[in-house]
Each structure stands twice: as structure tokens, then as C-alpha cells.
Amino acid sequence: MSIQPINIYNQKNYTNFTNNNNPNKKQSAKTQLGIAATSALGVASAVALVAKRQGFSLKLSSIKNTPIKDWAIFKITDKNRPEEKVMKFKAPQILTIGAGSVIGGLAGGAIFDKKENLSSKCSEAVSQFIGDISIPLMFVALPTDAYKKFEDLAAKETKHANLKRISSFIQGNKFLRVLCPTIVSGSSLALGIITGNKVSNKINEKVHGVKQNRGIKITDFAPHLDDVCLAITLMADKSPVGDIISKFVPVALTIAGIETGSAQNTKNTKNTKNTKS
């Protein structure tokens, strides 16, 4: 369900690009299944590319002879075998998978849905990739990475004596050691979600030449699992917890593609007058 801001425009016509389906134009099960399939295919292709770049083999013979638990997508850090490679999802990899999902969803929407909805799907693609994935990801990655470096000062020789003292104090307190990074990551993510929504609306407004009133929706929060995973990965490198959470990133990002491909173009024409509330 959309959380829509209250907007009153003193104009006769406006176009509302939204991914909420028009009740009179419900998509068929075939269309929904097709969009889900192409979104999943886009994600799978991106994951395969990431795995290849990280040195995992994509040869069928190699995959067949490897236990399922040791496949790149399932493998987690084993403290008894720390030298073994584990697939990592950091900012570049998440952006790659997000792009694969959105492209797959857009392609599915173009193939299985009506052509009249394509403009809305393109608008939603911008909202998903820029507003829901890229900007929130950067808002989490940069502050979290900076905090990690601050955290490491406690165990390093540095000329920044005051920062080292504060870092040592935080690391020596069990409550602050958990609270501080949680505040940094949580506030960064919240700010990133709000900023991403505003920026994507502005971009779509410039591209389409119409006022955008797309608010933040519940489904927008699904892709942010990647941000949580990234924060945990940076805070606790080589952590099994981070590895386990990261396995859900491709699934979460698939929703971005489905939302893109499912977007419907609903044109509304309204006459508005100045009224007092």
C-alpha cells in the first residue's frame, strides 16, 4: 500500500505514474508469472556474473561435482576452513544484481503486458534502481565504511589521539559497541530511502515532463535487505551471520524487477479549485 503525500495542484491535468494496478486493468496470472520469471532470470544472470568475477566456476561439470552446500550462492564462512572463498555481496555486486533484476522486470513487462503501460514501467525502473537500490545503498555503504575505520582506531597506532580514545571507550562498552553502529546504519538507511524517493521522482518528472507523486511503498523496503547485509558485512567481516543474510539478497532484489514489470500507467484528469481545509 502506498504512503502518499498530500498534493494539491492548481492545474487541470496531471499524469499519475504508479505501480498500483488499476482495479479495472488487473494483470493476468500469465502476465504476472512472465514478469516474475524474467525478473528472476535477470537476477540469476547477474549472480552468475558476480560469481564468475569472484573466481567461482560456472562449468556444468564443476557445479555437478560440487556439493550443493558448497555452491557459490549457498556457501558460508567456515571458521575451520578460513582460506576457502565465499561469495561476497558488497556495493558493486548489489548494484549489478539490482540492475539485472530491474532490466529483467522491464523486459518482462514489455513482453507480457500492454504497450500502453511501458512508460510507467520505465518510470518505475528509475524509482527502483535509483530510489530504492543505488542511493540508499550508497547512504549505507559510505557512513558504515567510515564507522568501521573509526572502530578500528581502537587497535591501531594513530595521530588522532582523541578519536582513538573515543573509539576505545565505545569498543570497551558492550552496549555502545552494538548501539553506535546500529544508529549509524539505521539513520543512514532511513535518510537514503527518503532521499532516493525524492531524487527518483525529480528524475522522472524531468524525463516525462509531468509532476510525480510516487510515495514510499511497503514493497520499497524489500530491496533494503541488501543495505542491512552490507552494513553487517562491513561491521563484521568474514562473519557467518553476514554470509547467511546475504543469501537472501538476490531474492529481495527480485522484487524490484517484479515491481518494475508490474507498473501500470493510469492517466487521471481532475479539475481542482482552491479550497480551504
Q: Are 192 and 140 in contact (CB under 8 A)?
A: yes
Angstrom distances, CA of residue 259 to CA of 39, 141, 247, 277: 9, 24, 21, 34
The pLDDT of residue 261 = 96
Q: How far apart are CA 215 and CA 2, in angstroms?
A: 6
Residue type, 231: A
Q: How far apart are CA 263 and CA 22, in angstroms?
A: 10
pLDDT in tens, the chain (277 residues): 444 444 433 443 444 444 444 444 578 899 999 999 999 999 999 999 999 999 999 999 988 898 888 888 888 877 777 778 888 888 899 999 999 999 999 999 999 999 999 999 998 898 889 888 898 889 888 888 898 889 888 888 888 889 999 999 998 998 998 888 888 888 888 888 788 878 877 877 776 666 656 666 665 565 566 666 666 665 555 566 667 777 888 988 999 999 999 998 865 434 333 434 3
Strand partners, 264: 18
Q: Are 121 and 260 in contact (CB under 8 A)?
A: yes
DSSP designation for 131: I
Helices within the chain (DSSP H only): 29-53, 60-64, 91-112, 118-126, 135-152, 161-171, 174-208, 225-235, 240-246, 249-262
Burial level of 206, CB count in 10 A (0-12/13-18/19+)?
exposed
The pLDDT of residue 101 = 96
